Structure 1
């Protein structure tokens, strides 16, 4: 399977390539400039806004401190009348770096390494941000407090609005079996911030320890993080399923990007694709029993916060010996 970004650019790289330079990706060089910006104080009281452009805080290495980049974004928002001159960095917008990688220092960003989310943004301002702030690759409008995706088959999907650029991001997830890179079109897939220890991965690791090369059904796979973790852990077979088609699209991207080649079935529902030791479906979890003819050692149920898991657990129980709710 050849994987391409919707924008047509080369946004998707093999995860092995992303990981190769990840330790240095956000590190400043010795000439990089820092700017002490108080996040809760009005930006206009700290810096002359007329001085902020793509050269402000720039270095010959091509990186700028995250706070400087966000100051540039906020300056554009103030110019466009979306924010007033009392605005500060804390209430400007949500920065989502890509690759999403946990650092113990303020990251310095190269070009096209940031997607921003704001509930106040409009298209004109977004297009100006993309044009003037080189680090920003995509601008989204939406409320970060609302989960993106679809809760269950009885719910309507919720997505953010992509106003400008490309919002494909990659999050680096650490697992005991090696790091994963999980790509997602952020307006369609929920936000997850990098953590030193992922509670979801820890629950899954505990379940996997009870088996030697188990078969796994990831009933609500999202972008595929947990199922791919199982493949890296040595599962003999993993079935991915999600009713939300954008989640399945990113699962296929992530399988390929993490080194698991995908073959399409030619169908847009039910069995979508497969590989040497995995299958990918897109259907209601309650319908999976019509397509799967074996009992899986582990069935993973990972729903959105606040969703009643009872019907998911009941459906998973018909397909697996051990239902693991994450």
Structure 2
């Protein structure tokens, strides 16, 4: 797929991603790497070059290079611990038993400290770095349609990456642009997916609605479980777009034959927050999937009359009054079983 961020071939199908997982971050017999103390600055020694046999390098060596570039550009004083350089997000992300050896262009760096000059150097000089994102307060996305959206800043490279989430029916691959969508990293068992699978067992739904879809993880898991009709929605443009994209990424594992996009990335970006639901994509086959961008409180206007199960994965779960208000309105207008993952 043509990447909407960098124009490259960053997005590949799920089968290809899953086939590469077993050896993706494993060292070859010739790989060597030092383990660094993350609570101290890196020692004053030369870092190892990528392995001449497989091209991979141990993550601590890569992070030492990142740290030194940031220190050289004045983003770090050189006295901070190695961990102060930022947060590494590997591509693809999945539960690993040991620290990874990174192939080229497999790491997106999230950092509060990094500047533009260092970011450009990191993408040019550190072969493992895929993209560099400067973080800020809060997390990317929106809490409500009336709230100010939050986003981080992509400084260099491309920040499109994937996470792999296991389900009982098989894994799903979820791509996202990391500067505009929050981190949702798999650590073996995803509690939201487990919650969804319990609800599917309980209700055996013909139709499932994920009203706050994010990048589409729950909708994909429901489709992977065989739910005949899945409807996903999010008011944030990036969430709606990547949900639609991820249907195509995983289509081989779903009962769909074609995916039709009804809005482009640029179309959605021009209206980052939507209230009235707009159809973004449809997928048809033995299963049906629809993706909307809109306020979940107005989604009832485009939903079919029989909804068996809905997930309301609200940002503000700790606001009891708001949760009760939204779930109460959903029961009255949509009906069916509701759960909050």
TM-score bracket relative to the smaller structure: over 0.9
What is the CA distance between 1:273 and its match in structure 2? 1.8
**Residue matched to 1:76:** 69
What is the CA distance between 1:294 and its match in structure 2? 1.2
Does 2:73 align with 1:95? Answer: no
- Is 1:299–1:319's contact at 8 Å kept on the other side of the alignment? no
How do 1:271-290 residues align onto structure 2 when only pairs under 5 Å count?
271-276=279-284, 277-290=288-301
- Residue number among 79, 83, 94 corresponding to 1:86 in the alignment: 79
- Is 2:203–2:309's contact at 8 Å kept on the other side of the alignment? no
**Residue matched to 1:115:** 108
**Residue matched to 2:340:** 325
Greater shift in the superposed pair: 309-318 or 220-229: 309-318
How do 1:172-183 residues align onto structure 2 when only pairs under 5 Å count?
172-183=164-175
**Residue matched to 1:166:** 158
**How many equivalent pairs are there?**
318
Instruction: Look up the SS of the partner of 1:274 in the other structure.
Output: strand
**Residue matched to 2:23:** 24
What is the CA distance between 1:147 and its match in structure 2? 1.8
What is the CA distance between 1:42 and its match in structure 2? 1.9
- Residue number among 227, 233, 241 corresponding to 1:235 in the alignment: 227
Instruction: Look up the SS of the partner of 1:231 in the other structure.
Output: helix
- Residue number among 216, 219, 228 corresponding to 2:211 in the alignment: 219
Greater shift in the superposed pair: 256-265 or 55-64: 55-64
Partners of 1:138 and 1:312 in 2: CA distance: 37
How do 1:51-62 residues align onto structure 2 when only pairs under 5 Å count?
51-52=46-47, 56=49, 58-62=51-55
TM-score by length of 1: 0.93
Structure 1: state its 5+ residue gaps: none
How do 1:245-260 residues align onto structure 2 when only pairs under 5 Å count?
245-259=237-251, 260=256
Structure 2: state its 5+ residue gaps: 269-276
Partners of 2:35 and 2:293 in 1: CA distance: 48
TM-score by length of 2: 0.89
- Residue number among 254, 270, 273 corresponding to 2:278 in the alignment: 270
What is the CA distance between 1:213 and its match in structure 2? 4.8
**Residue matched to 1:314:** 328
- The 3 A distance-change label for structure 1 pair 137 and 177 is same
